[in-house]
Structure 1
């Protein structure tokens, strides 16, 4: 699977998702924005990651992510996830190039909120 470039930094993370609180968007086809890698980290249970060639394309890959493991979704990659166990918990960490506008904007938002 794809690796996150070494000059990319974690600028944002989701809450921990379970079958009870998962936003529906994650269960349906969606993509990561330009310049952003998503690192899916399974904390408990198992999750299946589906990657697609394009928005209306065939499934390109299926990866089972077990507790303690991760998978990477590259920028603008169409994908979705599926819970494989009722106790599954996962989080997505987002990475962008260290000096990018995405990171600067997010740091500004953090400063305002604090």
Structure 2
């Protein structure tokens, strides 16, 4: 199981979502800002079950990784990974916490004139 590096900082949490309240894009293959380098998403399942599918890139037809996360469990996903999730029960509730490497936070705090 992937672990969040100990120096990462918790920066935000999503609300608790279900099949009706989650953003629809989370159920389609995507590479979002939450998974850029140095950002570790941690999906927590409160009720039901979620299957995570990871892909080598945005084009490959088959996932290169899958993970089942059931109620009471969480999964940490790699930065910069194409992915989507599937809710396996109609009563699934989950949320996502984001942990960020300090150097990524510092880079984001630089004045615009210093950013490349």
TM-score range with shorter-chain normalisation?
0.7 to 0.9
Aligned-partner Cα distance in 2 for 1:50–1:84: 13
Residue segments in structure 1 that go unaligned for 5+ positions in a row: 106-114
The corresponding residue for 2:113 is none
C-alpha distance in structure 2 between counterparts of 1:102 and 1:86, whole Å: 40
Where does residue 46 of structure 1 map in the other structure? 49
Paired with 1:28 and 1:99, the residues of 2 have a C-alpha distance of 30
Aligned counterparts of 1:83 and 1:100: Cα–Cα separation in 2: 31
Superposition pairs of residues 28-39 of structure 1, within 5 angstroms: 28-31=28-31, 32-39=35-42
Match of 2:90 in 1: 86
TM-score by length of 2: 0.82
Aligned residues: 105
Write the distance in 1 (CA, Å) between the matches of 2:106 and 2:14.
16
Secondary structure of the 1:86 match is: coil
Q: Deviations over 1:45-85 (max 9, x none)?
A: 01111111111123011111100101111111111000100
Structure with more of its chain in strand, by fraction: 1
What RMSD, in angstroms, separates the aligned Cα atoms of the two structures?
1.8
Q: Which runs of 4+ in 1 moved over 4 A?
A: 102-105
User: What's 1:70 paired with?
Assistant: 74
